[in-house]
Chain A
Amino acid sequence: MNEPAPEFNSHRGADVSRMIVLYVAALSIALLLASTLIVLVTDASPLEVSEALYRGSFSSPSAIGFTIEQATPILIVALGSLIASRSGLFNIGPEGQFAVGTAAGGLVMFQMGGPPAVVLPLTLVAAGLGGAAWAGIAAFLKAVRGVDVVITTLLLNFVAIQVVSFCVNRYWLLQERTGGRIDPPQSPLVGESYRLPRLGSPTGFNVHTGFLLALVLAAAVWYAVSQTRWGFRLRMLGFNPLAARAAGVNLVVLGGGALVLSGAFAGLAGGVFFTATGFRVTSGVLNYGYEGLLVALISRGRVAAIVPIAIAFGALRSGGGYLGATGVPRYMVDIVQALIVLAALMPPVIADRMARARTMRVIRSAARVRESAPAVPS
């Protein structure tokens, strides 16, 4: 609704330029480290590596389309995480909610017959509901037992992986019958006509409609959190639960609701991935949930920032994939990505450290002043 007035909470206004310097420095160091590592492990040069990253992510219309495709689930997850964090509850379980959403979508997709126009939307709805239900467990435990949401959502991630793994190992649930001797733990492939439609030319720029859905959701989330009574109350709850309670905000209903909604977003992200990119339910960890969470963290709660950051993460994935294709091992790609995420998260931490170090210097010099100051006559 308004820009924060200058100076509140951050009493050192000159810090803006320092933060910019820190961000640039952190990213440069990350890139430097990454390239050094790559040079050590493979014999590619850093230049080749960055070129590969660029080629895979932004160099051509089709690369851009691929980047956006990768960014879409991350973006949807991040929007949900933003809702939860606005209410003061920290949902760190999008990965699990994503997985459960994928499985729930898969059940509808493969168990329910019918034309695509019916099955596809229902698949997405089921995915959202699956994620919501998974987050709902945490909301329920919080409401009745006061169990910390951070802990439950985190632990439920691991349970979710087991649940999905169970599903893709049972023929009566999701597992595909290939007719071979051993069937892999995965679902059948989604039929062509049951996939999310794609826009653009098949060889040039093309994106699936899930991205449009994500953009619509971004607009809706922006509107809901910044313009509506619900968003107002959500912020009140996040900032000051006591004042919110006195003003009629019910933590269980509003906070629990926000948590469930964020789960729904993560689940929907799973559904979109499943029907637009992955086409199968597998028991692997895809990391879209964790990355969405990171995007929400880095954006610090601003919807406008979430979209570009999610796309940047998508670019790391698409560029990383390309890099992998050039012979750089997959784990190196992950390391590069982790370094960049760290670089994006470190500057606030470093700034804090620097402030502390300065304090210690002042204390030491103050001690010297005190010692040298003559005793005070009474």
Chain B
Amino acid sequence: MDTPGADAPTRDQPDHAEALSMRGITKRFGTTVACDAVDFDVRSGEIHGLLGQNGAGKSTLMKVLTGLLTPDAGSVLLRGQPVVVHDPLAAASLGIGMVHQHFSIVEALTVWENVALGDRAKIDKRRAIAETEELSERYGLDVDPRAVVRDLSAGQRQRVELLKCLRRDPSLLILDEPTSVLTLQESAELFRILRSTVKQEDRAVVLISHKLDEILASTDRVTIMRDGSVVARMDTADADAPTLANEMVGRPVALERLAGALGLVDVAAARDAGDGDAGHDFDRGTSPPVLQVVEARVHADDGRPLLNGLSLEVRAGEILGLAGVEGNGQAALAAVLHSLVELDSGSVSVEGTEIRTGRAGAMMDAGVAVVPADRHAAGCVLEMSVAENLVLDNLGSVSRGHRVSRQLTLDNARRLMEEFDIRASSPDSLMGALSGGNQQRVVLARALSRSPKLLVADQPSHGLDVGAVAYVAEMLRDAADDGMAVLLISAELEEVLSLSDRIAVIHRGEIMGVLEPSEFDSETIALMMGGQRA
């Protein structure tokens, strides 16, 4: 690969092959070197994968490109022209668009308003709605333009983010983990369309993703980062999942771990075979229900039912997978179990005791821990430190009387950071300064460290790198084997299938049926997801 930075093309002879080249980009945060003299090139007409473990510096590099961060050193060439990008507005005017790892849409506005937001011209409602519809059709991102974002699930919000960015028709599109809460089919469809437009219109896409299969399926070339530096560049055609994973980690990765994380083997089958009669501490068939939801009903502000008489039981020692198309009430159920939403009718009981819904902290006190799908909403406090975030809902454990003990808080943080491999420069780092995957680890660590009776894990692997996904799967399994009840909500059927002891299928706020392992079958589940009862 030739490096145009070496002899920067002049205005007269632009190098069209390189849509973007970043040269020697260095970005430090205090003592952390997030990007260390990174060279990064993207050609016109390609989809370029950017890979690396959590905290490798991927988001930082892209934030430098969009002007959200000012690099300490290095330069950026766009189609051969040196550019200085001070902020996102400038980036937008240069045709750079980015979908960020974390949502940046306005909750109180409707979908079409969010999509049109930032337009300079007068906004024409009808046209904006039509445009949004047309876009969502074109890219296969189904979402109702008139819905208010507040009522949308994480997956639907993700689609809005994408639409908002795609509407600007950026010539360089940066997608930072855009599909972490989309289904496989959905992301496949999105990339199929992106691929053709990118080729035809000679644009370029940078795709950051931890899903290796997605990278393999949709990119032309990949760049792999480790600890702030680029460690490998290759054509995707020459790569396979183990190569990519090994490059990311820097040493050979145990294959079955990797395979599990990729959904390449049936973990459930492997587990049952392996465990055999070693047996669980709990006989899941007869263990008492930890969570009982009876006839739960919740309405959105506009009167639409979100939960429509949903009934569900999760027993001690089992992982109950909740399968369903995004936006069928999963978010509302998680919110109820997080004490954020009150039921209109129906009841929630934990170990036989009815819990008042919507009352601050009631579920937490009853022993329910939640890993929310959108970690920034109710999962953490970005302005507080990592150590503090690790005890948000467990202050008592680090307090002496009314006083929060700094020492205990730090001890707890060091222990959990070690156990969950949370990469932060110190326990006192602000949560907002962590990479997305490390934030997710904090949320998971906090939930699991309380040894809850019931763990509600909504997209628990959201943003985790390959190794961490496998680790979390193991943690969930172990926790269940020790008698914890786990409610696993996931947009990925593969994840649900590989981890669950039983699977409940949700459709329009109702449970269509609960399947035992012998009945696990993608086709049956797909039918039920479409509204057919078991």
Contacts and interface: CB of A to CB of B under 8 A. Distances in A.
Judge: A and B partners, yes or no.
yes
Interface of A: 1-9, 11-12, 227-233, 235-236, 239-240, 242-251, 355, 358-359, 362-363, 366-367, 369-370, 372-374, 376-378
Contacts of A227: 403-404
A367 B378 contact: no
Given A1-B406, A228-B403, A236-B384, A8 B430 contact: yes
Contacts of B200: 378
Nearest to B94: A366
B256 to A, nearest CB: 36
Nearest to A374: B14
A270 to B, nearest CB: 29
Nearest to B393: A247
Contacts of B433: 5, 7-8
B402 A230 contact: yes
B259 interface: no
Interface in B324-381: 338-340, 360-365, 370, 377-381
Interface string B74-117: 00001101011111011001110000000000000000000000
Interface residues of B, number: 61
Given A235-B383, A248-B339, A248-B360, 12 more contacts: A5-B433, A7-B30, A8-B433, A239-B383, A242-B340, A243-B381, A243-B392, A245-B360, A246-B363, A359-B87, A370-B93, A373-B81
A248 B450 CA distance: 15
Contacts of A7: 29-30, 433
Contacts of B365: 248
Nearest to B82: A369
B403 A377 contact: no
A45 B106 CA distance: 54
A195 to B, nearest CB: 35
Contacts of A363: 89-90, 93
B361 A248 contact: yes
Nearest to A360: B89
B202 interface: yes
B385 interface: yes
A369 B340 contact: no
A57 B461 CA distance: 62
B249 interface: no
B16 interface: yes
6 contacts: A5-B30, A229-B399, A245-B340, A246-B393, A362-B86, A370-B95
Given A359-B87, A376-B44, A228 B402 contact: yes
Interface string B175-219: 000000000000000000000000011100000000000000000
A246 B338 CA distance: 6
Which A-B residue pairs are the 4 nearest by beta carbons? A248-B361, A247-B393, A362-B90, A2-B428
B384 A239 contact: yes
A245 B241 CA distance: 42
Interface of B: 11, 14, 16, 29-30, 44, 68-70, 78-79, 81, 83-87, 89-90, 93-95, 200-202, 338-340, 360-365, 370, 377-385, 387-388, 392-393, 395, 399, 402-404, 406, 409, 425, 428-430, 432-433
Contacts of B14: 373-374
Contact of B380 (A11, A230, A243, A251): A243
A16 B403 CA distance: 34
A236 B87 CA distance: 30
A355 B432 contact: no
B228 to A, nearest CB: 15
Contacts of B387: 2
Contacts of B361: 245-250
Contact of A247 (B11, B87, B364, B409): B364
A370 B29 CA distance: 32
A359 B67 CA distance: 10
A366 B83 contact: yes
Q: In this complex, which of A7, A12, A369 has the most chain B Cβ atoms within 10 angstroms of its Cβ?
A: A7
Contacts of B382: 239-240
Contact of A359 (B79, B86, B392, B399): B86
Contacts of B44: 376
A232 B364 contact: no
B395 A233 contact: yes
Contacts of A9: 432
Contacts of B68: 11
A6 B29 contact: yes
Given A240-B381, A362-B90, A246 B85 contact: no
B379 A229 contact: no
Nearest to B88: A359
A249 B81 CA distance: 53
A157 B231 CA distance: 63
A225 to B, nearest CB: 11
A372 B383 CA distance: 43
Contacts of B406: 1
A240 B100 CA distance: 20
